[in-house]
Structure 1
Amino acid sequence: MSRLTLALVALVGILGGGLAVSLWSKPATSDTAAIRSVVEDVLKERETATPAPVETAAIDQDKLNPMIESYLMGNPRILQRVSEALDTQLRAEQRDKAKTMLAQMSDAIYNDPDHVVLGNPNGDVTLVEMFDYNCGYCRSALPDLATLLAEDPNLKVILKEFPILSKESVDAARVAVLVGKDKKVDYWTFHQALFSSRGKVTGDTALEEAQKLGMSKVDLALKMGEDDVSGALERNYRLAKSLNITGTPTYIIGNELIPGAIGLDELRGRIANMRACGDTVCTSG
């Protein structure tokens, strides 16, 4: 009989005999002392022994795969939950990556000398929009921006020219950069006029609207190709590349990059959250 078996038999015998106190607390007799010695030795052996390797059966993929498929077909909502979980995880990863990049590009986003500032320059929340004058979604989103400017006296808006749709967009943006540099001209009026115009917005369209505000078409046409104008657009292109911005409109609020025209209510919600918790998404608790 092995030492472990002997110890177990002894313990069972003692417990079966109705001992009411622990073996470890009972004064040692010749029998109990011997049993206690055996048990202690066995426990020490078990603590120092190397576990025997566990043999695993080889997985038969031909049998397992049909079982998995059958289970998933019978419980399709599992796939839905997996898809939702993956989507949530990917969005969280994208959000974290965007936070890092926005922090790194903060100076280029908020301190460029040639971007246009609307609303309250000292506002407690800043909304940045990158746009193209020939972008249909930007055109449809213009009323959202107008409403926000009208209803929110503490909102700062930064507009950045990002002409990516055509050469005509680039020409219009060049004129717009010059209009934005002239502090005597109401850029917001010019901006709304271009988005309200019929057909494709071109350099000529922009020159006409600038002339209505008292600027010289000839002077603008001569200056629109100058290096400082090109530099203003180049900085916006570099910023967009760094942030992986590929479409318009694209908004930046706080530490969130928002592609697409998300609508007035969504913009309002994110602005309200920035004021409430310093983030575009507030978590309870």
Structure 2
Amino acid sequence: MNRLALVLAVIAGALAGALGYATLNRPQPQTDEVAVRAIVEDVLSQKAAAEIEQPAQDVAQIDPDVLNPMIEQFLMSDPKLLQRMSVALDATLQAEESAKAKTALADMHEQIYNDPGQVVLGNPDGDVTLVEFFDYNCGYCRAALPDMATLLAEDPNLKVILKEFPILSNESIDAARVAVLVNDAGVDYWNFHEALFSSRGKVDKSAALAAASDLGLSPVQLELQMGEEKVAQAIQTSYTIAQALGITGTPTYIIGNEIIPGAIGVDELKSRIANMRACGETQCS
């Protein structure tokens, strides 16, 4: 349901409830005939209540021909009402999402920041940590690579954690498996990372093994190790974190208590990092 429909539904529900209440609770005119009938019905109902349970009274049905003009009149009396309700709804939904994200991030803190198999770049003791979930065949990740390069070059106090999150193809999974082994080998992972994102065509096992070979690693040995349990577990950890946090696409960043989907650009990343240093949140009030 879109925002406008949701707002209208809230208004309709409120008016229908009010009208239904008035209909059900409107006093009936009292005449002698009505009074006598009420006494008889009261006696009969008491007798029946001792034998069977009375069914619940149906809720009054509101005639759309009555309700719709009321809604229209209500809205037209204050044309800016929907705008204010939309803004309030946005604020409420954002607050709810923020609260859920903070709880999920707290629950997954160890896996996000202290997993022994993850890639760590920049200053390992940096005062701000930027986490990125990526797929080697993600075009947006490729376009965002210069943003990460700029941050690493210009910010000596930034810690960067890269999470292998291959979700686009089997080729992505193969490349991620090689990447896990490259990271474990202790060679220049950033060089390998840049090489894959700078390559042409789909990034697959062959491309990953070629980039690893350029760093002095044995492609044959890497291919033999790709199926090891520790390699699968390293990637599974990223899947587990992503599922807990509701991450479904790449790139996705984490800074502080904010989960940031999509390539938002280097300026926005810099702004959020600066805010973390200034007030401990990505958005300073």
**Same fold, TM-score > 0.5, yes or no:** yes
1:214 counterpart = 2:216? yes
2:14 paired residue number: none
Q: What is the identity, as a one-letter code, of the residue corresponding to 2:250?
A: T
The counterpart of 1:139, out of the listed 139, 142, 158, is 142
Q: State how far apart, in whole Å, the 2-side matches of 1:180 and 1:249 are.
A: 20
Which amino acid is 1:197 matched to? S
In the alignment, structure 1 residue 58 sits paired with structure 2 residue 23: yes
Partner of 1:169: 172
Q: 1:208 to 1:66 in 2, by over 3 A?
A: same
TM score, norm. by length of structure 2: 0.76
Q: Secondary structure at the match of 1:113?
A: coil
Partner of 1:226: 228
CA distance in 2, matches of 1:80, 1:217: 60
Q: Deviations over 1:177-213 (max 9, x none)?
A: 0001111x11001101101111110011000011011
Mapped partners of 1:137, 1:76: distance in 2: 41
Aligned to 1:255: 257
Q: Which amino acid aligns with 1:249?
A: P
1:117 partner SS: strand
| Aligned amino acid, residue 251 of structure 1 | Y
How much has 1:69 moved relative to structure 2? 1.5
- Identify the residue that residue 237 of structure 2 maps to in structure 1: 235
AA aligned opposite 1:94? E
> Is there any run of 5+ residues in structure 1 with no aligned partner, and where?
1-55
* Superposed CA offset, 1:87-146 (max 9, x none): 221111001100011011100000111111000000000000010000111111111111
Task: Work out the CA distance in 2 between the residues paired with 1:164 and 1:272.
Answer: 31
CA distance in 2, matches of 1:144, 1:74: 50
2:111 to 81, 101, 108: 108
The AA in structure 2 aligned to 1:178 is L
Superposed displacement of residue 64, structure 1: 4.2
Secondary structure, in 3 states, of the residue corresponding to 2:151?
helix
Secondary structure (helix, strand or coil) at the match of 1:58 reads: helix
Structure 1 runs of 4+ aligned residues shifted over 6 Å read none
What's the secondary structure of 1:258's corresponding residue?
Answer: strand
CA offset at residue 263 of structure 1? 1.2
- For 1:64 and 1:229, how far apart are their aligned partners in 2? 62
Name the SS for the 2:23 alignment partner: coil
Q: Deviations over 1:2-58 (max 9, x none)?
A: xxxxxxxxxxxxxxxxxxxxxxxxxxxxxxxxxxxxxxxxxxxxxxxxxxxxxx843
Q: Distance in 1 between matches of 2:194 and 2:247?
A: 23
CA apart distance, 1:235: 1.1
| Shift of residue 243, structure 1, vs aligned partner | 1.1
Decide whether aligned partners of structure 1 residues 270 and 219 sit closer, same or farther in structure 2, where only a CA change above 3 A counts. same
Aligned to 1:89: 92
- Spell out the pairing of 1:183-222 with structure 2 (5 A cutoff): 183=186, 185-222=187-224
Aligned pairs, how many?
227
Per-residue deviation at 1:74? 6.7
Q: TM-score, normalised by structure 1?
A: 0.76
Amino acid paired to 2:114 = N
Specify the structure having the higher radius of gyration (Cα). Answer: 1
Distance in 2, matches of 1:230 and 1:213, equals: 23
